[in-house]
Amino acid sequence: MSTMPEFFDTTRVPDDPEHWDALAERVAATAARAPKRSGVDWLASSRAGWVAASLLLLAAWALMMPTESSSARSFSGEWAQALAPRDDVGKAIMVRDRPPAIGALLLADRRGGDK
């Protein structure tokens, strides 16, 4: 009957400097022979890469486009109102779809103080 080997048992691994130097040379030689290709090189040179990139781009575009039935438009309006400053000038700048008139900004503090 054979015994179970111990986990992390390193008795069969030679532990002399010559062995580790030879291993380091083999790893360095293999790394030097390997072509240096990045993911961009793979995408540019392979047809599958172009198809994958096109599908990812199409999926990202489709997810970003809000539909008329979605609540994305009302949701962004709710966020703008929730994050708008409390003072009148800040609300005039943040909540409206277009910039407020300069006169409204200049006179907002006077109207608020006269009340």
CB 66 within 8 A of CB 72: yes
Model confidence over 45-95: pLDDT tens digits? 788 888 888 999 999 988 887 666 666 666 667 777 777 777 777 777 766
| Percent with pLDDT over 90 in the chain | 17
With a CB cutoff of 8 Å and minimum separation 6, the contacts of 85 are 91, 94
Whole-model pTM over 0.85: no
6: which DSSP letter? P
